[in-house]
Amino acid sequence: MTAAHAVPPLVTSPVADAAALAPVDRGRALFDLLREKWKEVPAGIYDRADTTKLLQLADWELRDYWESVWAETSTGPGYATRGWYQDLYRDQFRGKRVLEIGSGCGVDGVHFIRNGAKWHFADIVPSNLKLIRRILDASGLDCEGMTYIDDLGALDRIPDGFDFIYCNGSMIHVPFAFSRRETLALASHLKPGGRWVELCYTRERWTREGRLPFSDWGKATDGEATQWAEWYDLARLRDRFAPLAFQPLLAFTYYDDDYAWFDLRLDAPPDRAAAAALVDALPPRLPIALAPGGFKRHGATTLDAVGTPDGPALRVQTDPAFWSFALQGTLASATLHQALGDLPQGSLPAVELVVSVQKGRVGVGLMAQDLRNFVGLEQHLPQRAEPWTVKIPCPPGQERYDIVLRNTQGGDVASGFILHQMALTTMRAESADAAGDDAAVISLTALLRRHPGEDAPPPAPEVPVYVRAVPVEAIGRAFGYEEASLDIQDEDALLDYFERNHRGQSVLIAGAAGWDEAAPESIDILLIDGARGADALRRNTDRAIALLRHGGLMLWRGFCPQGDALQAYPEARALAHAVHQGWRSWAPAFATMFWVSGSHLLVGVKR
């Protein structure tokens, strides 16, 4: 493996590394890192003070300190950043139970308690909570409770049934995956119909300040000691809360787009058991740095590093050749398992990519080191406005995995895409193997395990076989034919359509007269009729591959990977098993193979 082929290194920082330990230590390492910074609390609009030092003040000095900080940050010039929402929520919080995550010195919480709220403070810094307790005592006030968050297990000590959860800029200072874990756990403390109120930084601000890595951006937002800061918009919050649903009551930016305010209603928050199950099911996600030097380019592919609203990315224009490779990056199996560690039983390592297809159509998949066999399913992404998020499992038994993106736009027209993100993660084995009979990608291995043949045991290959399903109406677009395929009503008409549109006109039916006289690589379209039986199908395919020219079309008749057909017809079941058994030896000869859904045709395009 050369450096030019290697996938770029994992994105790393002390905060990211500590956050990745959350499934093991429940966030203790991360919170230990963050405590040193977040004992700093507001000392006015711009200044900050250390709560361990503020605790040395007399009670009357603390009370005066809090009053002066509140006045400076909430009235006069400070009204535009803080005072407005204190006015907006003063009456809404009155008489309600509010859980605040990240309390600081209580600039908001003490104010709302004075106006009738029932407040529960939670913070990762013990001196912050001690300071708030002394300010409350000095002011003749009290709160519902306080919780020191030494790790995520401390959230279990917080009571349930809150009307509001209030996060004023706290959840934005940890990596997204960790914040998601924390969000799902906290949501169980809301009552049905409870609300989640959060202040965040904006994507507009992050873009304006140079699209810095989140490990560096915190220094620009909250001072040199700040180790992490992220932006959020409504879409990114939906991802953080997923699979929980919320109804946004307020979602807007303010103060020259520096801040975003969200007020979200959760009509059906999970109970504690359900929330714990959601948290346990969260996969790790280790980002991979994107750099042009981390990939091998093929053919006439062009590759540029660009800045996008989501961070540094790679802009790619493929070679115009149909099925041609564009980018290739290699990931060693040892590296994959070292990065992800011991996986839970039933989980597989996976590669996740976020791709915007701006023009044409792009295939994304993993190949074995011979670059001829896909070892996971290839996904085909058409042009659309929104990015695609693709997660591809890495099945065991391979020394390395080659991540390949290629041009799958017909008509020898280049495709264009932006690769926004790559990450290592995991997925449940059943999710990787559970595409349904009518899905765009069918797990033929899983399907045949459910429908074994009389003389064919349930398949157990090292690498599962996936079959892509392309509907009849999409065939023309897939191959770049000028004639649309929308009105084809039956299989004979589909065969005629292929003959009219696929370059040459020479056609052979395997086993018919003239078969042995055909010259190698002389056939444009070759049909193998499965009616002759499974043995003949395998035998004829092996012989026919040599006859098909580069770019020629192989059609297998009688193939139908649908559960009801396999259950009802032994012949269909036998042919499906024959295709499965031959797939790994045939696939290297073809640039693509897919089933025309709704028909009994399997189609392959010769390399």
288-335: pLDDT as tens digits: 888 888 899 999 999 999 887 667 899 999 999 988 999 999 988 888
What's the rounded Cα separation, in Å, for the pair 380 and 322?
13
Which pLDDT band, with edges at 50, 70 and 90, does 592 fall under?
confident
- What is the rounded average pLDDT of the residues 486-513? 75
Kind and range of the H or E run holding 572? helix 570-586
The set of residues, in sequence order, having a beta carbon less than 8 Å from that of 170 and lying 6+ positions away, is 101, 102
Q: What is the pLDDT of residue 399?
A: 85
Each residue's pLDDT tens digit, 142-192: 999 999 999 999 999 999 999 999 999 999 999 998 999 999 999 999 999
Q: What is the pLDDT of residue 7?
A: 62
- What is the rounded average pLDDT of the residues 515-533? 83
Tokens of 359: 């023009």
Which pLDDT band, with edges at 50, 70 and 90, does 516 fall under?
low
Q: What is the pLDDT of residue 4?
A: 43
In the chain, the domains with their CATH numbers are 14-284 (3.40.50.150), 286-428 (2.60.120.260), 444-606 (3.40.50)
SS3 149: coil
Half-sphere exposure of 414 (CA within 13 A, CB side): 13
Tokens of 174: 């940890």
What's the rounded Cα separation, in Å, for the pair 126 and 131?
9
Which pLDDT band, with edges at 50, 70 and 90, does 513 fall under?
very low
Pairing of β 296-297 and β 361-367: unpaired
Whether 530 and 575 have beta carbons less than 8 Å apart is answered as: yes
What b/e readout covers 197-229, taking b as 16+ CB neighbours within 10 angstroms?
Answer: bbbbbbbbbbbeeeeeebbebbeebbeeebbbb
Q: What is the pLDDT of residue 43?
A: 77
Burial of 24 (0-12, 13-18, 19+ CB in 10 A): exposed
The set of residues, in sequence order, having a beta carbon less than 8 Å from that of 238 and lying 6+ positions away, is 246
Taking alpha carbons only, the member of 276, 250, 285 closest to residue 156 is 276
- CA dihedral 48→97→174→21, nearest 10 degrees, is 130
What's the rounded Cα separation, in Å, for the pair 220 and 205?
11
Whether 323 and 592 have beta carbons less than 8 Å apart is answered as: yes
Which 3-state string (H, E, C) describes 247-305?
EEEEEEEECCCCEEEEEEEECCCCCHHHHHHHHHCCCCEEEECCCHHHCEECCCCEEEE
Q: What is the pLDDT of residue 439?
A: 45
Positive or negative torsion for Cα 510, 516, 521, 523: negative
Which pLDDT band, with edges at 50, 70 and 90, does 272 fall under?
very high
What is residue 510's DSSP assignment?
T
Q: What is the pLDDT of residue 508?
A: 67
Which amino acid, residue 238? Answer: R
Q: What is the pLDDT of residue 455?
A: 60
Inform me whether the pLDDT recorded for 87 exceeds 90. yes
Q: What is the pLDDT of residue 208?
A: 92
The residue with tokens 């140079």 is 210
Pairing of β 118-123 and β 302-308: unpaired
Inform me whether the pLDDT recorded for 44 exceeds 80. no
Q: What is the pLDDT of residue 8?
A: 62
**Mean predicted lDDT score pLDDT of the chain:** 88
What's the rounded Cα separation, in Å, for the pair 512 and 555?
15
Q: What is the pLDDT of residue 469?
A: 85
Which pLDDT band, with edges at 50, 70 and 90, does 430 fall under?
low
Q: What is the pLDDT of residue 357?
A: 96
- What is the rounded average pLDDT of the residues 382-397? 86
Q: What is the pLDDT of residue 37?
A: 94
Mean pLDDT highest for which of 196-200, 422-426, 487-491, 505-509? 196-200
- CA dihedral 588→590→592→596, nearest 10 degrees, is -120
Each residue's pLDDT tens digit, 436-471: 444 467 888 888 888 887 666 666 656 678 888 888
- What is the rounded average pLDDT of the residues 17-40? 92
Tokens of 71: 């006045």
CA–CA distances in Å: residue 415 to residues 132, 378, 410 = 58, 17, 10
Which pLDDT band, with edges at 50, 70 and 90, does 263 fall under?
very high
Inform me whether the pLDDT recorded for 511 exceeds 60. no
Inform me whether the pLDDT recorded for 1 exceeds 50. no
Q: What is the pLDDT of residue 457?
A: 61
Which pLDDT band, with edges at 50, 70 and 90, does 431 fall under?
low
Each residue's pLDDT tens digit, 21-31: 898 899 999 99
Inform me whether the pLDDT recorded for 434 exceeds 70. no
Q: What is the pLDDT of residue 459?
A: 63
Q: What is the pLDDT of residue 120?
A: 98
Mean pLDDT highest for which of 11-25, 204-218, 368-382? 204-218
Q: What is the pLDDT of residue 6?
A: 59
Mean pLDDT highest for which of 10-24, 48-62, 118-132? 118-132
Which amino acid, residue 246? Answer: F
